[in-house]
Amino acid sequence: MTEWECFWTAPSGLARVSLRRFVYSSAGRPCPGPAGYHNASVVIADGVPTVHHDDGLIAAIDPADYRDDPRWPTSCDACADVFRAEDAWQVNQDPIHLAADGRWSGVLRDAPPGAMWDAYWYPRKGPDGICLVVRTPRGDGRPAGLGDDWMPDLRASNCTRPDDDAHYCWVRHGDPRAIPCTLTVDKDGDTCAAGAGSIAKPTWHGFLRAGRLVNA
Ligand SMILES: [Zn+2]
Ligand SMILES: [Zn+2]
């Protein structure tokens, strides 16, 4: 596929709680599975009310309450390696987002390429008052995840006007929330000399034009 249609998502007001164990790659116990490290996760609640947190919405629970929960995974989902006490313990409290057009719902780590949302906890806003996030595809065949997000309202790493907060390094046109097919991002406006309006991620390079992510 060389095109991905963009669509708006918003928080549902509910969150998913899951218990995750994983092994840091520095532990020297590589996993033959696709992630390369041992990892396992089990969903224990899907519909917990959300509360605001520094980085957005989270489930209204206290992670400490799950310390002795019998449902923690005991072995890797990919290879059955048994977790040790010193491996990581993580209580995920992810908000569930709903696509405005009904095509998808889920937690943002699982959002497909083209999903968009407002990172409202970022102080930097775009021209319409939101801080736009776009999940981009990957070029290496692995599923897209949280590391594949593009935030065109933030400053580009190679910005040539770093002391100027008035301009945008990417210029947005259209309405990503109400009419996603009108969204185009380019260099047509008050901008700097960084790039050509494209999206450069470690495994993918492309553009967002007329509501579609397209390969460069
Ligand atoms: Zn494993
Ligand atoms: Zn700039």
| Residue 1: pLDDT over 70 | no
> Which ligand is closest in space to the CA of residue 124?
2
- d(C-alpha 28, C-alpha 34), whole Å: 16
> Which ligand is closest in space to the CA of residue 165?
2
pLDDT given at position 128: 97
Model pTM above 0.85: yes
CA distances from 186 to 20, 26, 127, 152, 203 (A): 39, 40, 14, 10, 20
Q: Which residues contact 158 (CB under 8 A, 6 or more apart)?
A: 194, 195
pLDDT digits (tens, 9 = 90+) for 96-114: 999 999 999 999 999 999 9
pLDDT digits (tens, 9 = 90+) for 29-40: 999 988 889 999
- Cα–ligand 2 centroid distance for 178 (angstroms): 27
What single letter denotes the amino acid at residue 177? R
- Cα–ligand 2 centroid distance for 165 (angstroms): 8
pLDDT digits (tens, 9 = 90+) for 60-73: 999 999 999 999 99
- Cα–ligand 2 centroid distance for 185 (angstroms): 14
Start-to-end C-alpha separation, the chain? 13
Residue 78 banded pLDDT, cuts 50, 70, 90: very high
What does the domain layout of the chain look like in residue ranges? 12-98, 111-216
> Which ligand is closest in space to the CA of residue 31?
1
| Residue 146: pLDDT over 90 | no
> Which ligand is closest in space to the CA of residue 190?
2
pLDDT given at position 2: 85
| Residue 143: pLDDT over 90 | no
What tokens were used for 148?
């594949």
pLDDT average, residue stretch 27-56: 92
